[in-house]
Structure 1
Amino acid sequence: MSRRITWEDASCPIARAADVLAEPWTLLILRNATAGTTRFEDFRSELGIADNVLTTRLGKLVDRGLLTKLPYRDGGRTRHEYRLTQAGSDALPVLHALGTWGDAHTDSVSAYGPMQLVHVGCGQLTRPGASCDACGKPLVRDDLAWRGSWLSEGEIPLADPVA
């Protein structure tokens, strides 16, 4: 089902962002890409999403510049991986804000508890921001991990965008 309204030319930046991010499955695909998922079959199995929907969403994320499509060989076939671009990586604060809101205002059935942000450099929990709550060092993406997430209770390093 396609939307009847587009906000890509709206003057409001929230409307333009919603035009890119607000379709069903899009934020979950970005979440999993941020956690390092790159292959179609892994997105499909982790999300339980139909092939046609996943194909459409991945295509739109590539077209909008949030993911890039890179070929790889699987046996005799050429397949593709989907990697975060800088624009996709820059959606991390949105994912953190949604996670924080979801922890505060919805009930979890997960045994892992709330999703936490870990500053890998010092090993301590922190909140999204410019610097670590525990050690004060600047927070950079390749020094962050999610803990107690939907995937596992262990730490999941955040994927870097493709250079």
Structure 2
Amino acid sequence: MTKGPRPQAPVSCPIGRAVGLLGERWTLLILRNANLGTTRFDAFRAELGIADNILSSRLARMVEAGLLTRVPYRGSGRTRHEYRLTTAGAEVLPVLHALAVWGQEHTESPEPAAPMRVIHQQCGQVTTPGRVCDHCGEPVRREEEAWVRPWLSSEPTVLASPVRTGS
């Protein structure tokens, strides 16, 4: 008898397909960090506390699915790879926004901390995650959005720009 995961039959429902890819443990957290600019294996591992074998597996699956792309760089005398966000990976942002709002409303932090905030860099004000700034009414483009995660830092982190892929 063969052990391991069984191949899944193709799913017609788009929600089912999305959950099949994004629903694996660690995948959304890896995408969160990639959206915030993490690109290197060691940084993902350190930030997430994830085991090497699981991180390798998730990154490979995300590259195969087109959420990330591998970009070579020279490090420590040998070629290594960074994992850069693609347009498809960047377009998971509304899902991350929704999870942040839901988590703030329906879960409790183990330590007291101010809530995560989204800053519209054009006007410098806090806004609700979405497409239009609550303060100035202007559209919030990806390159104008920053996150403040007070449990890590009081400084805003600007979202990473996706790379253009050849396809």
Provide the TM-score with structure 1 as the length reference. 0.93
Q: Compare 109-118 and 131-140 and name the one that shifted more.
A: 109-118
Q: Percent identity?
A: 56
Offset at residue 76 of structure 1 (A)? 1.2
Instruction: Name the counterpart of 1:154.
Output: 155
Aligned Cα root-mean-square deviation (Å): 1.7
Does residue 133 in structure 1 map to residue 134 in structure 2?
A: yes
Matches within 5 A, 1:21-40: 21-40=22-41
Cα distance between partner residues in 1 of 2:150 and 2:51: 23
> Does the CA-based 8 Å contact 1:119-1:132 persist in structure 2?
yes
Matches within 5 A, 1:57-68: 57-68=58-69
Cα distance between partner residues in 2 of 1:120 and 1:158: 11
Letter in 1 for 2:131: A
Cα distance between partner residues in 2 of 1:110 and 1:59: 34
- Extract unaligned runs of 5+ from structure 2: none
Does residue 99 in structure 1 map to residue 100 in structure 2?
A: yes
- Extract unaligned runs of 5+ from structure 1: none
Cα distance between partner residues in 2 of 1:153 and 1:53: 31
Aligned residues: 162
Provide the TM-score with structure 2 as the length reference. 0.91
* Cα pair distance change 1:141/1:110, threshold 3 Å: farther
Larger radius of gyration: 2
